[in-house]
Amino acid sequence: MNAFFNVMLGYLARCGNFLRKKQVRTPALIVIALGITFFVGGMTSIFEFRGSSWPHVIRYKTIEILGLAKFAGLEGGVNFSSARYEFVTIFKANTPGVFQLTTTDTKNILGIERSSGQLLLLTPDGKSYTEKIISPSVFPKDADGKPIFNAAKTLVNSKPPIVMGVLYTDKKLLYSLAVQEKVNKKECQALVLYEVPLPSLDTAPTGLIERFRTPCIADLQNGVMWAGRIVRNNEKIFLSIGEQRYDRSQYPKTDMVSAADLVVTKTVFGKILAFDPVTYKYEIYSTGHRNAQGLFWDNDNKRLLSSEHGPNGGDELNVITKGGHYGWPTVTYGKPYPTMFPSGEPEVNDSKNPGTGVDVSPTRKGIFSGTHDGFLPPLMSWSPGTGMGNLFHVALNSPLKDWRNDIIVAMMGESRLHRLRLHKGAVVFDENININARVRDLFLLSTGDIALGLDKGALVIIRVADDV
């Protein structure tokens, strides 16, 4: 042991002598400083990127620390192009934040900041937009009369309160909020649908009405699994709710949910609900949804569209029919995760050999992967997972003539948009459009402008370059 310490001391002494040389001192100190910086950054990322792989953490922290992110601060905006199309930023809001988006009249944009509840209005003004803060927060208030607030604004923020979806309709604002609270002295999370009366966009709202609330689940690690998108047609308001009875790998949360609740079909988890817009009485519209973070009513074709996160791959685009069952957690085109959640133990089906028959063997408590047999299949599915965000259908009268009747889906994990064209009900064309920014929400206006809520903390509006 003494010999080992003597060797180490000798090594340190030689390092010290080396660093005393003037020509190497500065570079060596820079390397040491960078090493300390990356170590601290990596340690903080354990909490900021819980559930992410270390390569992802290292890559992101490297970009962030060295200031190489193309959209850090956005430098005025984002531009994106495909093989044939080019868009440029025409407006960037001065108010920072990660915004969920809706429209008041297909031309104005309302944005609600998902961590603070700040309400922002963007109004067309010539070739740009004007910006107005309607309310510093529309969140419910705490015991001291102050709006609840989430100070953690990170790339992946899963700590409630978080706004999951928003809709403006009939002079009122609806938003879904993932909240954390105590029930019977135990911390748990729930999804709540709030209504904010907005008789005028010129004055701050004063009221807040709770319209719906899910059961509270004692799982504090899955705040991003609540879905919570809101859309409507002429008759119903639709709300997607994530399947919180099962973990991300399809295992039932038996320590949090009773055996009876795991099989009762009337539970709201993993469902899309249809509400009466006056009474807020609801019916289960469809089931078998894992985490539908995109929802859009296609008025031209009278259909409800959803984009949905799969497990380890198997992200889906679905056409939703009333009474339909879309398979989760029984079937998925995704694969089991390499390890079980949350134990971290190796998954029994962890195999990359297609000759093993893993995808067709129900070894995971009767759950299949790689198939949708017996359930409604998706319109399109992607593997590896793309981290799907929201979506929209391009109206038949849109100024974007080449895109009419197409479906645009934001892929958060890829920092891309996908433009999908259908023929006789099947996807026949999938165009990848690089945007170099993680799009949390997006909305196509009747003018052809596209509003983007970016995870890096900005709300921008983009337009076809030729029209600027």
Mean pLDDT by groups of 10 residues along the chain of 468 residues: 59 60 59 59 41 43 44 50 72 89 93 93 91 94 74 55 95 95 85 96 92 90 87 97 84 78 83 97 96 96 95 90 93 74 57 59 61 91 86 95 94 88 92 85 93 88 74
**Angstrom distance (rounded) from CA 194 to CA 400:** 34
Say which residues have a Cβ less than 8 Å from residue 423's Cβ, sequence separation at least 6: none
**Angstrom distance (rounded) from CA 251 to CA 315:** 18
Report pLDDT for 264.
Answer: 74
Task: Provide the edge-to-edge strand list for the sheet that holds 186-197.
Answer: 162-169, 172-183, 186-197, 209-213
Report pLDDT for 341.
Answer: 56
Six token digits for residue 353: 């050999």
Identity of residue 288? G
What are φ and ψ of residue 223, in 5° steps?
-60, -25
Fold that domain 78-334+380-467 belongs to in CATH: Neuraminidase (2.120.10)
Do the beta carbons of residue 391 and residue 400 sit within 8 Å?
no
Do the beta carbons of residue 91 and residue 109 sit within 8 Å?
no
* Residue 6 vs residues 1, 9, 14, 154: alpha-carbon distances, Å: 9, 5, 12, 46
- The per-residue b/e assignment along 27-53, b for 16 or more CB within 10 angstroms, e otherwise, is eeeeeeeeeeeeeebeeebeebbeeee
Delimit the CATH 2.120.10.30 region(s) of the chain: 78-334+380-467
Report pLDDT for 51.
Answer: 35
> Is the N-terminal amide bond of 161 cis, ω within 30° of 0?
yes
Q: How many residues does the chain have?
A: 468
Biggest alpha carbon distance in the chain?
A: 82
**Angstrom distance (rounded) from CA 324 to CA 375:** 8
Do the beta carbons of residue 239 and residue 230 sit within 8 Å?
yes
> Is the N-terminal amide bond of 329 cis, ω within 30° of 0?
yes
Report pLDDT for 54.
Answer: 45
Say which residues have a Cβ less than 8 Å from residue 397's Cβ, sequence separation at least 6: 404
Residue 134: name the closest of 89, 170, 91, 168 by CA. Answer: 168
Residue 80: name the closest of 402, 455, 385, 461 by CA. Answer: 461
